[in-house]
Amino acid sequence: MSRYPNPLRLTILWIGLLLARVGLIDRDRAIETTDLAWPRIVTGIARMSKNAVDVAMVGVAVGSSAIAGVGLAGPYWGLAFALGGGVAGGTIALVSQRFGAGAHEELGRAVRSSTLFAIALTLPVTAVFWVYSVELISLLTNETQVINHGATYLQVVSLGIPFAALNLVGSRTLVGADDAYTAMQVRAGGAVMNIGLNAVFIFGLNLDVAGAALGTVLSNLAVASVFALGIVRGRVVGIGEFPVQIDPFGTYVDSDMIADIVSIGTPIGARNLVWTVAEFPMLWVVGSFGETTLAAFIIARRIWGLMNTPGWGFGLASSSLVGQSLGQNNEGVAEAYGRDIIRFAVATYAVSAVLIAIFAEQIVVLFAEDPTGPVIPIAVSLVYAACFATLFQGVSGAAAGPLDASGDTRIPFISQVIGMFFVAIPLAFLGATTSLGYWGLYLAFVAETSVPAIINYWRFRTNKWKKISQGYRPDAASTSD
């Protein structure tokens, strides 16, 4: 435990050991999960803090129109993580099973194929966003000032999309090889660099929203470079040893690997895409409440992103640990990891939600040019709704981990579609068009997490994912217990 003298790790470990003490989870699994999850949570906090700082800095420097513009560009930037996350979802499933089975040659082919696939998917997106940035932002609003800010941000930030996708592949490679700590060092360091660059570009050089976008591009380029160097050389000076070392001159076009990445990753990418695509109609609906409510909603979503970071850690820890157990054909152990991590995640989310709720107003004020303006009370009430909704996210994200590790990725995608398009967005629309008002937005937050939580947990309990995993296990492993 001395390897990670970190307050966040100690807090999460304390929660896990308390659950173990009352018999809800296994003590050894609590420790192992903590050591794999907390670095990813730190990475998530750093990245979501970066996103929040983007909004806060441009809000202070320019005002609510800049907040709205950056917020409307956000879903387009999110496509990088939808596409890259889909490829990376296939990466972690294949890497974790092969790492568990000791099939290192297959592991290298999986990573190289993922790298090529991520670049091929994201370069066309960059081109479209660069050329049509104004037209794309105009689809969401008629406010000229908001369009100008949003288009400027989108055009510049589009250059970082391929690097962001490669960063996901690099991170998932290390997590799948049981090393979330190194991935955290690289990506969290990039997020800190991003914040520093933003401050220089926005306030020092007066580049406003273009400065926020440029900081994102340069920091993602730096992170991608470090991952590439570390995975090829097996270590990076100042960071240390990487858990894998992969020959960059091996085969990149492996039809079997690419087929597996597509099969596993497409539903994961589609699930991530649901979040991104759903933001477009959601922002359009919220925009009908007015610019003030739109700005408040964007602030609340940035804080919501911070609250959801425990799921990053527990979901990936579950995928890695369950995947390694499946690679060794220990299906009973895989199920035990999945069950314990779900309980662990929910308890951690509960602690996080209480803390955010207590300090909601103080946090929201950090985003506003005018701390007494009308944006503040609306944003605070939305944050309270998010605090309640985030409890279900603990179940949804952690239950999806074993499904992702096994290759059973369609159900989490379907659950997200139902939750967002058939429940959350209609509730928000009712709020905008009926006397339901802001309650439609509050209920939309809850529906966004509770519906996937119910469906993902049900699928996990059926144990069908164990059988599905047999089709994706490495050649070095047998296909049955």
Mind listing the pLDDT tens digit for each residue in 93-134? 777 777 766 667 777 777 888 888 888 888 998 999 999 988
Q: Which of 4-8, 337-341, 411-415, 463-467 has the lowest mean pLDDT?
A: 4-8
pLDDT of 476 reads 41
The pLDDT > 90 percentage for the chain reads: 21
- Coil, strand or helix at 110: helix
Confidence of residue 1 (pLDDT cuts 50, 70, 90): very low
Q: How confident is the model at residue 346 (pLDDT cuts 50, 70, 90)?
A: very high
Q: Is the pLDDT of residue 216 over 80?
A: yes
What digits encode the pLDDT tens for the residues 37-66? 887 787 777 767 666 776 777 766 666 677
Q: Is the pLDDT of residue 317 over 80?
A: yes
Place of tokens 């994912």: 465
Please state, rounded to an integer, the average pLDDT across all residues of the chain: 82
User: How far apart, in whole angstroms, are the C-alpha atoms of residue 29 and residue 27?
Assistant: 5
* C-beta of residue 402 within 8 angstroms of C-beta of residue 315: no
Contact yes or no for 42/4 (Cβ under 8 A): no
HSE at residue 414, side-chain half, CA atoms within 13 A, is 10
Most confident of 8-12, 72-76, 354-358, 368-372: 354-358
User: Which long-range CB contacts under 8 A does 181-185 form with residues at least 24 apart?
Assistant: 181/3, 181/4, 181/35, 181/39, 182/230, 182/239, 182/240, 182/241, 182/242, 182/243, 183/39, 183/40, 183/43, 184/39, 184/40, 184/42, 184/43, 185/39, 185/239
pLDDT of 481 over the 50 cut: no
Supply the pLDDT for residue 109: 77
pLDDT tens digit string along 30-39?
Answer: 998 888 888 7
Phi/psi of residue 207, each to 5°?
-90, -5
- What pLDDT sits at residue 370? 65
> Of the candidates 256, 150, 134, 254, which has an alpha carbon nearest to the alpha carbon of residue 212?
150
Tell me: pLDDT of 479 over 50. Answer: no
Ramachandran angles phi, psi of 241, nearest 5°: -75, 145
Residue 2 confidence (pLDDT) above 60: no
In percent, the amount of the chain with pLDDT more than 70 equals 91
Q: Has residue 477 got a pLDDT over 70?
A: no
* pLDDT tens digits along 359-380: 998 888 877 666 667 788 999 9
Provide the pLDDT confidence category of residue 452 given band limits of 50, 70 and 90: very high
The CA distance from 361 to 340, in Å, is: 34
How much is the pLDDT for 51? 67
Name beta bridge partners: 414.
Answer: none
- How confident is the model at residue 431, as a pLDDT? 92
pLDDT at 325 over 50: yes
Q: How confident is the model at residue 73 (pLDDT cuts 50, 70, 90)?
A: confident
Scan for tokens 């979802």, then name that residue.
Answer: 89
Closest CA relative to residue 30, chosen from 317, 225, 268: 317
Within 188-334, strands assigned E span 235-236, 240-241
